[in-house]
Amino acid sequence: MKRKRSLPLSRVYRLLEPGPVVLLTTARKGRANVMPMSWHTMIDFEPPLVGCVVSDRNFTFESLKATRECVINIPTVELAPAVVGCGNTSGRRVDKFERFGLTAEPASRVEAPLVAECYANLECKVVDTRMAARYDLFILEVVAAWIDPSRKRPETIHHRGGGLFMVAGREIKLPSGKP
Amino acid sequence: MKRKRSLPLSRVYRLLEPGPVVLLTTARKGRANVMPMSWHTMIDFEPPLVGCVVSDRNFTFESLKATRECVINIPTVELAPAVVGCGNTSGRRVDKFERFGLTAEPASRVEAPLVAECYANLECKVVDTRMAARYDLFILEVVAAWIDPSRKRPETIHHRGGGLFMVAGREIKLPSGKP
């Protein structure tokens, strides 16, 4: 992790609240996979809990259930073609890291790899699968977080459906009393 | 609903996937309330299911549990000061519609009002409260949806924490095979 520093877990919500498309990595039987995901939400601040929806039609679903580990990687706009490519292929047939030029780096607390090209990486344990059967909904706890401190205003991408993505725009500051 | 048209329920996910701050309205005993919310995710396409986290410290929590109805209203950047104002006050003490110049309009399927100034409004029924006690997580079904068709690129706002908001930026189109 050359360029990245550890991010306090209390700050993790700041990365996911704006709703970016993320890349979810898993590893099972020595084989890593990666899929884009837009259906996620913060659930608690600290320890950071995240709810995410992974369809049982996806190759990732079984890995997540079996290994109970994953990494949420947050890409920026220059990775958009790779993100869409990962969504259009299945890890059942393709090594997506190789196909889309993504670099798998070892994580510190889980077997699933970090995507080196992403500006932030959240190592997660699955802590609740009771909603997986009915809603494909998993509850994750973030156990370690990494961020590239040089990226002050990351141009995250946000899916608007049908291949249309909104790129993070300008920032405004308002006197919010909330975290 | 002068300017708005009905939105097909199959399109609802396109409004929430990018992760905008929304205004959640409820009504109980003839009294409406409104709170900003960033912790939400799509859960299914059609009927559209939405998971949302409402802290049990919020006035809205009890209304949601008791009435099992609400409206998700999506504001754009010109409403940002009102959104922050709604987050800094409690409906226990303040009529936030009056205080922040928001117009409550009748909904078609629920008692909770629409916020007229928002470019889209999703009328919701609470369909599952089993995760409310543990995670403050409610599962909503969108039963009617309204959109202002004149707003082609709504400048939604996305919370980055501590009063910092990202405003929706430019759009890019990529050959995604996904919805």
Buried b (16+ CB within 10 A) or exposed e, A47-58: ebbbbbbbeeeb
pLDDT of res. A1: 54
Q: Are A17 and B161 in contact (CB under 8 A)?
A: yes
* Tens of pLDDT, residues B88-130: 999 989 999 999 999 999 999 999 999 999 999 999 999 999 9
* Tens of pLDDT, residues B165-176: 999 999 999 988
The pTM (predicted TM-score) of the whole model is 0.96
What 8-state DSSP symbol labels residue B84? H
Q: Which two tokens stand for residue A129?
A: 């699968």
Residues recorded for chain A: 179
- The structure tokens 């344990």 sit at A125
Q: List CB contacts (< 8 A) between A53 and chain B.
A: 41-43, 51
- The structure tokens 């050359």 sit at A2
One digit per residue, the tens of pLDDT, for chain A of length 179 reads 568 999 999 999 999 999 999 999 999 998 999 999 999 999 999 999 999 999 999 999 999 999 999 999 999 999 999 999 999 999 989 999 999 999 999 999 999 999 999 999 999 999 999 999 999 999 999 999 999 999 989 999 999 998 999 999 999 999 888 78
Closest partner CB to A41 (pick from B40, B159, B163): B40
Bridge partners (DSSP) listed for residue A33: A26
For B172, nearest residue in chain A (alpha carbons): A165
* Tens of pLDDT, residues B44-97: 999 999 999 999 999 999 999 999 999 999 999 999 999 999 999 999 899 999
**Contact flag A43-B167 (C-beta cutoff 8 Å):** no
pLDDT of res. A177: 82
Separation of alpha carbons A59 and A43, rounded Å: 25
For A85, nearest residue in chain B (alpha carbons): B176
Share of chain A above pLDDT 70, in %: 99
